Amino acid sequence: MKFASEFRDPVAARALLSAIARKADAIGAARARPVHIMEICGGHTHSIFRYGLDRLIHEGVEFVHGPGCPVCVLPMARVDECVEIAERPGVIFTTFGDAMRVPGHRKSLLQAKSGGADILMVYSPLDALELARRSPGREVVFFGLGFETTTPSTALSIQQAAREGLTNFSVFCNHITVPEPIKALLDDPDMVLDGFIGPGHVSMVIGTHPYDFIARDYGKPIVVAGFEPTDLLQSVLMVLTQIAEGRAAVENQYARVVPEYGNSVSLAAIADVYERRPSFEWRGLGEIDASGLRIRAKYAAFDAEEKFGIGYATGRRSVPEIEGCACGAVMTGKLKPTQCPQFGKGCTPDMPLGALMVSSEGACAAYWQYAGARETAA
């Protein structure tokens, strides 16, 4: 496969693993513990497990899985609000498939659908827009979820709905941003992080400069990475090289895709449609300043929070997580998924307790799918 096979070349991967081992040994001589490198993005977590990089990498490097799975960091209260909107008469609630099985306090969207709510999976907010055009008399609500990767497509859909004068389309906006939770993790005195692998898809939109504070203010290296095995190995080597040389900088391993200053069309749409919420609740991380987006007043006609009088602005925020669930600790890299007492017992992909076992980018799902399969085969 062109543009993929060359990044899965076993000879190149072995050479990178050897270079990482040499570099880690050199650093390890002065260290009593492995170098902790957090991959922020859930897509990277899955690549690491899919290609067995967690086992192949030198023992002096430890991957710490970060909070970059948008479904996983969604607090239960927001799922409850989705269900509440979806169960209103006349509503067609649309969402990406990943969010369907995320447990809420009462039920998931899938359970609400089986109870009669009109909930549809879509691949894009444009599908929801088309549904609104074809369904006059019904209110079509799109669940706007995700980091800067999906934020522009929701913004463009709202702009298009405004141009067409649609009155039955709205967005339940739960879009969030990446740099703020990284700052929260760096401010956590319990976190031991030596460097970061930066998200590839998010950075296509925002570029590399929003991460400058990581190197400048915290003295930690960050390398924006692609998703193939040699992308990730090269990025680890770049982080280790910075550490070995006593440097901290933002570097871009994924330059074939990520422009330094991001995508100007997407950034303009984001700036036009959204503004920052003062703070937003993250599962496992609590409230983080300026980490969530809401729809600007000029697009209030397309804001489901306004239309339904529901959501973050109403002040109903937190509901407690399920007892015994360690999602927060796993999401902040403090525990490995297998260290959660529920892993494989009370929580499996068929009967999930937490979103990390459901989402295609969740760390628990990655362990279950790849590490679990290995253990079974062993």
Q: Which residue is nearest to ligand SF4 (CB)?
A: 354
Pick the closer one to ligand SF4 by CB: 157 or 342. Answer: 342
Task: Please report whether residue 285 would count as binding ligand SF4 according to CB under 6 A.
Answer: no
In the complex, minimum distance from the CB of residue 261 to ligand SF4, in angstroms, rounded to a whole number: 36
CA atoms of 263 and 237, how far apart (whole Å): 27
Task: Identify the residue among 7, 51, 211, 343 touching ligand SF4 (CB under 6 A).
Answer: 343
Q: Which of residues 350-369 bind ligand SF4 (CB under 6 A)?
A: 353-354, 356-357, 364
77 C-beta neighbours (distance < 10 Å), count: 18
In the complex, minimum distance from the CB of residue 128 to ligand SF4, in angstroms, rounded to a whole number: 28
Task: Identify the residue among 117, 204, 340, 366 touching ligand SF4 (CB under 6 A).
Answer: 340
In the complex, minimum distance from the CB of residue 372 to ligand SF4, in angstroms, rounded to a whole number: 11
Task: Identify the residue among 140, 156, 326, 366 touching ligand SF4 (CB under 6 A).
Answer: 326
In the complex, minimum distance from the CB of residue 99 to ligand SF4, in angstroms, rounded to a whole number: 15
C-beta separation of 238 from 223 below 8 A: yes
Neighbouring residues of 248: CB distance < 8 A, sequence distance ≥ 6: 214, 215, 216, 218, 219, 220, 221, 242
CA atoms of 199 and 208, how far apart (whole Å): 10
Task: Identify the residue among 330, 332, 359, 366 touching ligand SF4 (CB under 6 A).
Answer: 330
Residue 60: phi and psi, rounded to 5, are -80, 0
**Three-state DSSP class for residue 29:** coil
Task: Please report whether residue 82 would count as binding ligand SF4 according to CB under 6 A.
Answer: no
In the complex, minimum distance from the CB of residue 129 to ligand SF4, in angstroms, rounded to a whole number: 33
CA atoms of 63 and 41, how far apart (whole Å): 12
In the complex, minimum distance from the CB of residue 343 to ligand SF4, in angstroms, rounded to a whole number: 4
What b-and-e string marks burial along 144-170, b requiring 16 or more CB atoms within 10 Å of the CB? bbbbbbbbbbbbbbbeebeeeebebbb
**Three-state DSSP class for residue 49:** helix
Residue 95: phi and psi, rounded to 5, are -155, 160
Pick the closer one to ligand SF4 by CB: 83 or 325. Answer: 325
In the complex, minimum distance from the CB of residue 371 to ligand SF4, in angstroms, rounded to a whole number: 12
Pick the closer one to ligand SF4 by CB: 65 or 277. Answer: 65
206 C-beta neighbours (distance < 10 Å), count: 25
Task: Identify the residue among 42, 347, 366, 370 touching ligand SF4 (CB under 6 A).
Answer: 347
CA atoms of 98 and 208, how far apart (whole Å): 27
Task: Please report whether residue 325 would count as binding ligand SF4 according to CB under 6 A.
Answer: yes
Q: Which residues bind ligand SF4 (CB under 6 A)?
A: 325-327, 330, 337, 340, 342-343, 347, 353-354, 356-357, 364
